[in-house]
Structure formats: C-alpha cells, structure tokens
Amino acid sequence: MTTAVRWEGVYPALLTPFTADDQLDLPLFEKNLRAQLDAGVHGLIIAGSLGEVSTLEGAEKLALLETARETAAGRVPVIMNIAEASTREAVRCAREAETHGADGLMLLPPMRYFADARETIAYFRAVAEATPLPIMIYNNPVDYKIMTTVAMFEELAVLPNIQAVKESTRDLTNITRMRNAFGDRYKLLCGVDTLALEALLTGADGWVAGLVDAFPDETVALYELALAGQIEAARSLYRWFMPLLELDIQPKLVQYIKLAASATGIGSEMVRAPRLPVTGEERERVMQIIRTALANRPALQLS
C-alpha cells in the first residue's frame, strides 16, 4: 500500500552511502534514514543528484527503495528519482518504481541531450501517462541546462499526477510567477539550500534539502519556524546554518555533504568513482566550516 504524498515540508535528497569496497552500505543508509524520521521529515527522496544517481545500477536503486520503505514503514512517502537519457528508459524506470512500492517520483528532464520545450514536454508527458504515481518535476536549468517555463507548465497542467515542482532555478521570483499563473495547482518546493528561508517566506510549500543529510533536526526546525511565522528565530538559525548550506551549491556538494554527515555520525565520506573523497587543504577548509558550526550548534526550540 502506498503512502499519500502531500508535497509539503522537508524532503531530504538522501545520500547513498558506500562501503570501502564500493558496495551499498545499507546499514549506514538505514541509520541516516532513522535520523531523518526522528527529526520529523515529511518525505524521503532516493537516488537523486546527492544520491549519486548517475553511478547507481538499477538493482542498487531498488535496494535503496526497499530499505527506505521498510524503515519508513508508511510514516512518510518514499520518492524515487528518475534521471534518464531516453524516454523509453525513463518510462521503464517509472513503472519499475511503481511496481516496487515507490509512493511518488521526482522527474528530471532528459539527461545529456539538450531537449527543446516540445521534446521536454513530450518526455514528461510520456512518463506521467505511464504511471499513476504522483510526480514532482525537478526544474534546475543551472545544473541541467533545461528550463521548464511557466508556459510549459501550462501544457503539463492537464496531467493530474504532475503535482509539484522542485524549484531550483535560483530565481526566487519564479515562485511568485508560478503562484500567479497557477494558484495552488502545483506544490512548490525549494531545491536550493541557500534560498530555503526566502523561498518558504515567499510561499513555497516545502524544501527538498541537502544539508539535512547531516543536520536533520536543524533543517526541520528551520522549516517549522518559518511555517509558524517565528521569523526572528528562523533568521537566527538560518544565519548559523548558512556556511553549511553553502556546501550544497558547490561542484563537489556530494563529497562535502558526505563529509558533514560523517562528522555528525550519520554518514561516511565514501563516494563512488569517478568522485573521490576530498583531501588536503580542500578537506581541511570544509572541515573547518563543519567544526565551527558544530562548536556553535544552537539549541532548538519552538515556542
């Protein structure tokens, strides 16, 4: 039985932990999952960019899905990311995720090929028509070079299971544009850690978060403070958090966030080649950011 997806709140873009011999570290994955659930996250996203999806095999994605479903036990929905180069493979992966119990999908535009608007819409439509699972479109033209525009979302609005947008354009006004065009037709979730508070106060419904992989309690607290209108407390927490959140917008965000998760005891530094763990001055620079944050970690309270 699937768990309803509301597309509101904090949805971690989960890391994929590996062992020293390059296998999935499922016990560590479960440890991180439990930390997320204990913090009160509202959903889980597996095999995303932070999850090193481009290096994962199909069987590994399904193993992560199974572990996440068993650990969540229906408390929150489990979302499978779809990031494929061909429409046919994207459709196959969506159906496979449905068969294996995913509660919803996050869908990127075609990978590697720079699809135009007509091609991108056809790609999204093909996946949406192949499964009844609810879908969140990942709109990230900065990293993936394809912008899903308001006009494109107009065409996609006839597809009822395309329900949400991971808003990663880095243009905060796009939240207001989408609200003006569609009202509440689409749920909007911030996809950029360094814009999270601004996005939530502008009207985003939630946050697909990265540093949550290392700091789940602080991430959920920031969301709850914003939701409760406790702006001064939210600002204070956000200012403490920002040096860490900036790790999410670096080319080596996977290595840096894994380093942070290792430092907080719910992850490891192991990545899959061609990525390599950071070393030397680079590692020390990132560790100094993490150590400073840990030394000044705030007490979390909601009044």
Tens digit of pLDDT for each residue in 60-80?
999 999 999 999 999 999 999
Task: Tell me what the mean pLDDT of segment 147-162 comes to.
Answer: 98
| 8 A C-beta contact, residue 203 and residue 188 | yes
- Residue 274: band (very low, low, confident or very high) from pLDDT cuts 50, 70, 90: very high
**Residue 227, Cα to own-chain centre: how many angstroms?**
19
> Does residue 139 lie within any of the structural domains?
yes
Q: Which two tokens stand for residue 265?
A: 């005891």
Question: What CA–CA distance (Å, rounded) separates 60 from 53?
Answer: 10
| 8 A C-beta contact, residue 179 and residue 190 | no
What region does 137 belong to: left with phi over 0, alpha with psi -120 to 50, or beta? beta
Q: Which two tokens stand for residue 298?
A: 């705030």
The mean predicted confidence, pLDDT, of the chain is: 97
3-state SS track over 253-274: HHHHHHHHHHHCCCCCCCCCCC
> Does residue 71 lie within any of the structural domains?
yes
Total count of domains within the chain: 1
Whether 112 shows a pLDDT value over 60: the answer reads yes
Q: Is the dihedral of CA 169, 175, 181, 187 positive or negative?
A: positive
Q: Which domain CATH number covers 168?
A: 3.20.20.70
| Pair type for strands 44-46 and 162-167 | unpaired
Domain that holds residue 17: 9-238
> Does residue 86 lie within any of the structural domains?
yes
Per cent of the chain over pLDDT 70 is 99
Question: What CA–CA distance (Å, rounded) separates 146 from 129?
Answer: 21
The secondary structure of residue 214, as a DSSP letter, is T
- Residue 302: band (very low, low, confident or very high) from pLDDT cuts 50, 70, 90: low
pLDDT at 2: 84
> Does residue 2 lie within any of the structural domains?
no
> Does residue 283 lie within any of the structural domains?
no
pLDDT at 180: 98
Q: Which residues contact 232 (CB under 8 A, 6 or more apart)?
A: none
C-alpha closest to that of 137 among 112, 159, 116: 159
Q: Which two tokens stand for residue 1?
A: 């039985």
Question: What CA–CA distance (Å, rounded) separates 47 from 223?
Answer: 23
> Does residue 247 lie within any of the structural domains?
no
- Mind telling me the catalytic residues? 138, 166
Question: What CA–CA distance (Å, rounded) separates 51 from 55?
Answer: 9
| Pair type for strands 104-107 and 162-167 | unpaired
Q: Which two tokens stand for residue 58?
A: 């199909």
Task: Tell me what the mean pLDDT of segment 31-40 comes to.
Answer: 98
Alpha helices in the chain (DSSP H): 26-39, 58-72, 87-99, 117-130, 141-144, 150-156, 173-182, 196-202, 216-228, 231-245, 253-263, 280-295
pLDDT at 303: 46
pLDDT at 1: 73
Q: Which residues contact 24 (CB under 8 A, 6 or more apart)?
A: 16, 17, 18, 60, 63, 64
Task: Tell me what the mean pLDDT of segment 266-281 comes to.
Answer: 98
> Does residue 296 lie within any of the structural domains?
no
What three-state secondary structure class fits 114?
coil
